[in-house]
Amino acid sequence: MHKITVKLATLTVATLLLAACGNESQQSVDAPTAADSSKPPADLVLRGGKIATADPATGYVEALAVNGYQITAVGSNEDIAAYIGPETEVVELAGRFVMPGFIEGHGHYLGLGRSKQILDLQGVKNWSEVVTMVAVAVDKARPGEWIFGRGWHQDKWDSVPDDAVDGVPRNDTLNKVSPDHPVVLGHASGHAAFFNDAALAMAEVEDDTADPSGGTIVRTPEGKATGLMRETAQRLINAAMNEYNGRLTPAQTDVLNRERVQLAADEALSHGVTSFHDAGSSFETIDFFRKLEEEGALDVRLYVMVRREDNDLLDKALPQYLMKAEGNDFLTVRSIKRQIDGALGAHGAWLLEPYEDLPDTSGLVLESVEDIEGTAEIAIRHGFQLNTHAIGDRAVRETLDLYERVFDRTGVDGSELRWRVEHAQHIDPVDVPRFGQMGVIAAVQAIHGTSDGPWIPSRLGDARAKSTSQPWRHLFETGAVVTNGTDVPVERIDPIASYYSSVSRMMVNGKRFYPEHVMTREEALLTYTVNNAYAAFEEEIKGRLIPGMYADMVVLTQDLLTVAEEDIPNTKVDMTYVGGELKYARN
C-alpha cells in the first residue's frame, strides 16, 4: 500500500509539472534559461534532441528531466534548463531521436538466452551448412554430450536435398557426422524439431511408433522415421532430455539459468528493448524470476504469462502468483498463456479449409477448446488476463468464440479484461471486426508477415492469403488494439526490423506482402510502445515519455517517423535507459 500512495503522489506532481511546461513554452519572455531554485534539480537531463513522447497531446519535445526512475518534466531546451543542478548528468543528444523504450510484445525470455548458448541455425543457407555446424560441435563434445541447435527453416534455404520428405531433409547425413551424440535441432517456428537417430533412440521412437495426439513423426514413403518431429511429437524426447539435464546439480542449473537471463537481457537492451512480454513460463520459472527481481538482477522489465500448468493447479496457485506492477517494477504476473494450434510453416496452423499444398490436413489442434475454456473461467475467477496462441483462421475463430461464450456466461464486460489472441496471423474477414467489438487485443508480430510472406501463398493459395493474412489495416479500421513484437527466438528480437515490416511489408525478395495492409509510421510506433503497454495494463506507467512515466527510453541515430522508408533498417540503437539508468551504449 505504501508504494502505491507514493506513486499516486508523484503522478499528481508530475501532472502539474507538465501543465507548467506547456505554459512556459508558450511564453515568449520570462522563460527560465538557467537553474531555477524553484525546480528540484534532476538526476538526469537529455537535451537537444528530437524526442517523440508517443503522447498525442505532447508530441515532440527537445528535452526531458529524470528523477530516480521516473520522468519529471519534458519540454523545450529552455524549459528543462531549469532542472539542471550541479549534480545533474546532462546528455547532449545533438539532434538524435529519442522514443519510449521498445516493449517486446511476445517473446520467450529464457528461450532467447538459451538460443545464445546453443548452435544458432537462423542464418544458415542450406542443410549441408547445418550438418557442418553439427560436425564441428561433435568434434568438441565430451563423450555422452548432446548437441542442441535451433532456428533452421527449410523455406529460407537456397536448396533442399532431392530426397527431402515434405520439403525437409532426412537425417542420414546427420547420423554420419554424429552417430553417438544425440542431436536435437529446433525449427525456427518452435513447432517442430529435427532428431538424429541417436536422439530418436533416446526418445524411444521406432519406425512403427504411433504418432502422439497433436503431433506427427514424419516418415519416408517406406515408413522410416526421417528425424522430423512435428508439434507434440518433439516432446517425446522430454523424459530423456530431463534426465540428461538432471545430471546437473541444482547449483549448476542455477548458473546456467542465470547466464540465460543475462544473455537475454544483453540482447534485448542492445536492441533498445526495455520491457518484455514473456509468453510464457511455469510457476517454477516465475519463482526463479521473483528471486532475481528481489536481488535486483533483472535488467529488463518482464511481463510473464503463466504457461504449462493444468487447470486444477492454476485454480489453486494463481492467487499466490498475482503480481501487479508497483514502484520501479521488473516483474509483473497477471496473465495466462494457452495455445490452440501450431504454426503455418509446419502445417500446424488450424485452418477453416485444408492446406493448398497438403490437402489432407487442415492443421493441428494442440490444446482442446474445452480445456482452454476451463482456463478462461479460472482466469475470470482470479482476475487474470488470458492470452491464447491462435495462428490459423479456424483457431482465431474458435478462440474468439470461446472468449465470447465465457464473457456471456459470466456476465462480464469483456473489453475490460483485455484478453489477447497471440499472433492472430490469419483471420477470416468475418472475424476481423470482432476484435474491436469484443475488446480483444490482436497480439501481432509484424516481422512474421514479411519473413513468412514468400511462402504463405503456397500454403494457402493466393486468394485466401490475400483475404486472411496479417490484415492489419482492417484490424485498425475496425477498432482493434494491435501490438507488436518478434516472438524471439523465432525471429531476432530487433524491433527496428519489425517496425520496418510494419510500415513497408517488404520481404527479403524485394516484393511487398499485400501492401494494402501496411501500418502508418505513427501506428507502428504506438504498437511497440503505448499499445504493448496497454496489453499489459501498464499504459499509465510506460509506453510514453511524459512526467510520471518510467524513464525507459531509447536513443536512436535517426527519426523512425520521418526517415526515408528504405533507410529505416539502417537505424542504430545508441543508448538504452531503463528506469533512468543507462543499461546499453553503443561503442
Q: Which residues bind Zn ion (CB under 5 A)?
A: 279, 487
Q: How far is CA 538 from the centre of its chain?
A: 16
Minimum Å gap between C-beta 53 and Zn ion is: 30
Residue written as grid cell 476451463: 374
Nearer to Zn ion, 488 or 556 (CB): 488
Alpha carbon 356 to its chain's center: 29
Contact between 228 and 244 under an 8 Å Cβ cutoff? The reply is: no
Q: How far is the CB of 378 from Zn ion (least distance, A)?
A: 21
Closest CB 308 distance from Zn ion, rounded Å: 13
Q: Which is nearer to Zn ion, 124 or 188 (CB)?
A: 188
Say if strands 44-47 and 63-67 run parallel, antiparallel, or are unpaired: antiparallel
Nearer to Zn ion by C-beta: 267 or 487?
A: 487
Please identify, using beta-carbon distances, which residue of 225 and 364 lies nearer to Zn ion. 364
- What's the closest the beta carbon of residue 537 comes to Zn ion, in angstroms? 20
In the complex, the smallest distance separating the C-beta of residue 459 from Zn ion, rounded to whole angstroms, is: 19
Identify which of residues 279 and 460 has a Cβ nearer to Zn ion in the complex.
279
The three cell numbers of residue 363 are 492443421
Residue 485 or 547: which CB sits closer to Zn ion? 485
All 3 cell numbers of residue 439?
475488446
Number of Cβ atoms within 10 Å of the Cβ of 259: 14
Closest CB to Zn ion: residue number: 487
* Nearest-approach distance from CB 506 to Zn ion, in angstroms: 23
- Burial bucket for residue 226 (CB in 10 Å: 0-12, 13-18, 19+): buried
- State the DSSP code for 123: T
482-483 and 420-423: which strand pairing?
unpaired
Name the minimum Å distance from CB 495 to Zn ion. Answer: 16
CB of 382 within 8 A of CB of 322?
yes
Instruction: Kindly state the cell numbers that stand for 470.
Output: 496479417
CA 540 to chain centre: 21
Q: Which of 91, 85, 1, 8 is nearest to 40 (CA)?
A: 85
H-run or E-run covering 211: none
At its nearest, how many Å lie between Zn ion and the CB of residue 422? 7
Closest CA to 444 of 384, 518, 550, 509: 518
Taking the least distance from each CB to Zn ion, the nearer of 137 and 273 is 273
- Answer whether 277's CB lies under 8 Å from 300's CB: no
The residue among 308 and 405 lying less far from Zn ion, judged by its C-beta, is 308
